[in-house]
Amino acid sequence: MLVILKRDDEEISRQAAQLIASAVRKKPALTLGLATGSTMVGVYKHLVTLHTQGALDFSRVVTFNLDEYLGLSAAHPQSFHYFMRENLFARLNINPRNIHIPDGTIRGDYDQYCASYEESIRKAGGIDLQLLGIGRNGHIGFNEPTSSIGSRTRLKVLSQETMDDNAKSFAPGEESPRCAITMGIGTILEARKILLLATGASKSEAIAKSIEGPITSAVSASALQLHPDVTFIVDDAAASQLTQRDYYHRVLEMTALLTPDRLS
């Protein structure tokens, strides 16, 4: 596990975009797992800038998004389809056939639909690089506390804390979704490389538990400790409860010296 400490959201966005861009350049047909949320807006802005400058080609990249709210159409302004289109896909040369986002309007056999999403990931050769955010309760994707470490893509009931956080994005009087389709923790852990971003003091407890706490289903992101190639990029506020910050700085210095490719 590599922990990169940055001052603020802008530094995090630049570092994350640099790592993603480097991965695409090394493997133009990269399979990229994507996330939504305010932390990702800056990352996607930098990727769009690189593409506009002619420094990044997405024509062969394949993407799989982590999740989508159940009950929201792709046209709903709070759907993750809409978020991805507005912040990234509409501004890149990505092939629409290579974009995969769970369908929030499905009805009926959810298990069959989720199994087909898993099969699409397998047919694409698996995810090379998975981008993650983290919830205040430590969830990744919508894998709420008590999610199985071996869980796969499935229908998931959202916690009250998550619904309360999400409600701020919806219009007054509009009920926020109670369920979502999400990749499972087991699905996420199969990615070859994982990159998790976090900003703000509200994420500090979740970050400390995820990096330094025990592996537990009560904090879904703690399962990332089992992964051989995971990088956390967090700002000062989100890192405020970490007890080993000096050590993480030393590890980063040695990583830059001994394995610089990991940081570029």
Closest residue by Cα to residue 157 from 143, 167, 169: 143
Q: What is the pTM of this model?
A: 0.96
| Cβ neighbours of residue 149 closer than 8 Å, sequence gap 6 or more | 185, 186, 189, 215, 217, 223, 226
Residue 264: the pLDDT is 79
User: For residues 103 and 117, what is the distance between their CA atoms, to the nearest angstrom?
Assistant: 10
Contact 147/120 with Cβ under 8 angstroms?
no
| Cβ neighbours of residue 201 closer than 8 Å, sequence gap 6 or more | 237, 238, 240
CA–CA distances in Å: residue 60 to residues 36, 131, 243: 21, 18, 42
Contact 212/244 with Cβ under 8 angstroms?
yes
Closest residue by Cα to residue 14 from 62, 55, 50, 63: 50
> Of how many residues is the chain composed?
264
Contact 79/73 with Cβ under 8 angstroms?
yes
| Cβ neighbours of residue 4 closer than 8 Å, sequence gap 6 or more | 15, 231, 232, 233, 234, 248, 252, 263
Residue 195: the pLDDT is 98
Residue 152: the pLDDT is 98
Residue 249: the pLDDT is 94
Please identify which residue in the block is written with the tokens 């506009």. 52
Residue 176: the pLDDT is 87
Beta bridge partners of 230: 194
**Using N-to-C axis directions, what is the helix angle for 9-26 and 38-52, rounded to 10°?**
50
Q: Which residues are catalytic?
A: 67, 137, 139, 144
Residue 1: the pLDDT is 94
* Strands 99-100 vs 62-65: parallel, antiparallel or unpaired: parallel
Low-confidence stretches of the chain (pLDDT < 50) are none
Residue 132: the pLDDT is 98
